[in-house]
Amino acid sequence: NTVKIRVPGTTANCGPGFDAVGIACTLYNDLELTLSDEDGISLAITGEGAEFIPADDSNVVIKAIKMILNKTGHTAKGIKLTMVNKIPLARGLGSSAAAIVGGLVGANELTGRHFSQEDILAMATTIEGHPDNVAPAIFGGITVSIMDSGIANYLRFLPPADFSMVVVIPEFNLSTKAARKVLPETVPFTDAVFNVSRAALLIGALCTGELKLLSHALQDRLHQPYREKLIPGMAQVLSAARQAGALGAVLSGAGPCLLAFTDGNADKIGKAMVKAFRIHKVKASYQLLQIDQ
């Protein structure tokens, strides 16, 4: 009754696809879960978050495991977790989605696989609040996911053309909660139309491999303009990426990581982005990521 699970980090939104589009990346958290009759929770973490991730119900991994135990009526009282985390915390790379999915998938494996991947998607979305990170964390690849009356629907695909992602990770955290607080309750109709057209173009471009369309298809008016003030230098870093030859560049999830899409020149783009952050006194580093399949 021990299981090992590997879950990818994810980048959500991808510009116009707010709360819907996500990509699984080659950056992983590994989790080993044991259920037992001995009372109590034990948690050993190495890597990201090792110093401060709590071993109680405020931890989404524990919450996810308990959700499965409750739904299946499983009697295990003891939870033993060992985690090796490579996904940085609260940076917009899906660390909480990875934790939730790891907990749900692991507990589902150990309790008789009562739930399908679609069920896991719906449960993960309930905990996370939106499906765009949890869907690619479960299915890999690129996903478009929606919730309709508690039922999850999704499309998962891989693009026919090769591209990479350069993620620039600034040395500060930003909680999704804080980054959602700055969003407006309503938006102008013209902005909604702007995003619908870009989101449609984005999925079309990714499905057909027409990557040159990304420069338009990654534009967004629903969340990035409002979040810019939370990330010093964001506009300049994104424009540095484009000038260095990126196909397009966006805020990763709710930030603060910034992400450039490229079919070459990755190091040049990464360096230009880090340099632009430095001008705004933000220390950052970059990593080259591929789509996790």
For residue 133, state whether it binds ligand HSE (rule: CB under 6 A): yes
Helix (H) or strand (E) holding 251: strand 248-251
Phi–psi pair at 7, nearest 5 degrees: -125, 135
Q: Which of 254, 272, 273, 291 binds ligand HSE (CB under 6 A)?
A: 254
For residue 143, state whether it binds ligand HSE (rule: CB under 6 A): no
Nearest approach in angstroms of CB 130 to ligand HSE is: 5
Answer yes or no: is 88 a known binding residue.
yes
Q: Is the CB of 168 or the CB of 272 nearer to ligand HSE?
A: 168
Answer yes or no: is 90 a known binding residue.
yes
For residue 145, state whether it binds ligand HSE (rule: CB under 6 A): no
For residue 130, state whether it binds ligand HSE (rule: CB under 6 A): yes
Helix (H) or strand (E) holding 6: strand 2-12
For residue 132, state whether it binds ligand HSE (rule: CB under 6 A): yes
Contact 260, 249 (CB under 8 A): yes
- Give the CA distances from residue 236 to residues 33, 122, 233, 261, in Å, rounded to whole numbers and listed in that order: 43, 37, 5, 16
For residue 253, state whether it binds ligand HSE (rule: CB under 6 A): yes
Nearest approach in angstroms of CB 80 to ligand HSE is: 28
For residues 104 and 65, what is the distance between their CA atoms, to the nearest angstrom?
A: 6
Max CA-CA distance within the chain?
A: 58
Q: Site mask, ligand HSE, residues 189-228, x = CB under 6 A?
A: ----------------------------------x-----
For residues 80 and 96, what is the distance between their CA atoms, to the nearest angstrom?
A: 19
Answer yes or no: is 91 a known binding residue.
yes
CA angle, residues 143, 118, 218, in degrees to nearest 5: 15
Nearest approach in angstroms of CB 290 to ligand HSE is: 20
Nearest approach in angstroms of CB 74 to ligand HSE is: 29
CA dihedral 59, 252, 269, 199 (to 10 degrees): 150
How many residues of this chain bind ligand HSE (CB under 6 A)?
13
For residue 234, state whether it binds ligand HSE (rule: CB under 6 A): no
Q: Which residues is 291 bridged to in the sheet?
A: 25
For residues 140 and 134, what is the distance between their CA atoms, to the nearest angstrom?
A: 10
Token pair belonging to 59: 């931890």
Q: Is the CB of 48 or the CB of 132 nearer to ligand HSE?
A: 132
Q: Which residues are annotated as a binding site?
A: 88-98
Q: Which residues are annotated as a binding site for ATP?
A: 88-98
The site for ligand HSE (CB under 6 A) is made up of 12-13, 18-19, 130, 132-133, 176, 179-180, 223, 253-254
